[in-house]
Amino acid sequence: MKTYQLLEGLQFRDEIPYAQPLLVNAEGRILRFTLQPGQAVKEHEAPHSPVYIIVVRGNGLFAGPDGQEERLGAGSLIVFDSGERHSLRADTDELVCIVILHEAPLAHKKSE
């Protein structure tokens, strides 16, 4: 069994959001994103995995492929399908969220 304290040892970067890997293996990735107010993760996609985002602190603006932002806060679960474009940004609060993906970036390339 492994345990992680999701709100301990938080690190924020001045220039860009910080994506700290908590667990990375062939079966998936769990990342802790920390964003300061005004920081954003621009629109992108995960072509080979759904993306599960759990907000653990603060409020953020999350958008799917239509670009329509929705404000969501701590306790929210956001689900994007494989290949679905999405973005997020911290507005007025620091934002901390956990992102879970089914596979690690190189796992798909090794199987091709």
CA angle 54, 73, 102 (to 5 degrees): 15
Q: Domain 18-111: give its CATH architecture.
A: Sandwich (2.60)
- Check residue 71 and give its pLDDT: 97
Other beta carbons within 10 Å of 86:
20
- Check residue 111 and give its pLDDT: 46
Q: What is the pLDDT of residues 53-73, one digit of tens each?
A: 999 999 999 999 999 999 999
CA angle 104, 13, 32 (to 5 degrees): 35
Indicate the domain borders of the chain.
18-111
Name the maximum alpha-carbon separation found in the chain. Answer: 43
105 vs 5, residue with greater confidence: 5
Say yes or no to pLDDT of 26 above 90: no
Is residue 49 within 8 A of residue 99, CB to CB? The reply is no
41 vs 106, residue with greater confidence: 41
Q: Name the band, by pLDDT with cuts 50, 70 and 90, for residue 6.
A: very high
Contacts of 107 (CB under 8 A, 6+ apart): 26, 27
Predicted structure pTM score: 0.89
Among the residue ranges 25-29, 77-81, 86-90, the one predicted with the least confidence is: 25-29
109 vs 5, residue with greater confidence: 5
